[in-house]
Amino acid sequence: QVQLVESGGGLVQAGGSLRLSCAASGRTFSDYAMGWFRQAPGKEREFVAAISWSGSPTSYTDALKGRFTISRDNAKNTVYLQMNNLKPEDTAVYYCASSRGLYDLRTAKVDYWGQGTQVTVSS
């Protein structure tokens, strides 16, 4: 069992930045690929980014490349999502997720989910 707890969400103006964190506990963090998904009001949950157990490779949804960066610190059992140049359409609940592989995360085959953190971008 793996427990995932997100933090770092909040309200930010368009053009601003936020860094989300996801702290993992339970089974060995470095065994898992980690990822971020988001769900906007009235929309389905969508893949944002993923990172392999070692930190490389990474994978992003095409629309967010260049603005969002995923990273991890296995010593701290934490994965991060740095979000820059935020836009109102980035408003969503952001979820941390873990799975055995990067491809599994890209195809939403998730073993464990966090509870989510709200990100709101004002125009």
pLDDT digits (tens, 9 = 90+) for 98-116: 999 999 999 889 999 999 9
Give the span between the Cα atoms of 20 and 26, in whole angstroms: 20
Cis bond upstream, residue 41 (ω within 30): no
Query: pLDDT (tens digit, 9 = 90+) per residue, 2-27?
Result: 899 999 999 999 999 999 999 999 87
- By three-state DSSP, how is residue 88 classified? helix
Residue found under tokens 């860094």: 19
Residue found under tokens 């599994």: 104
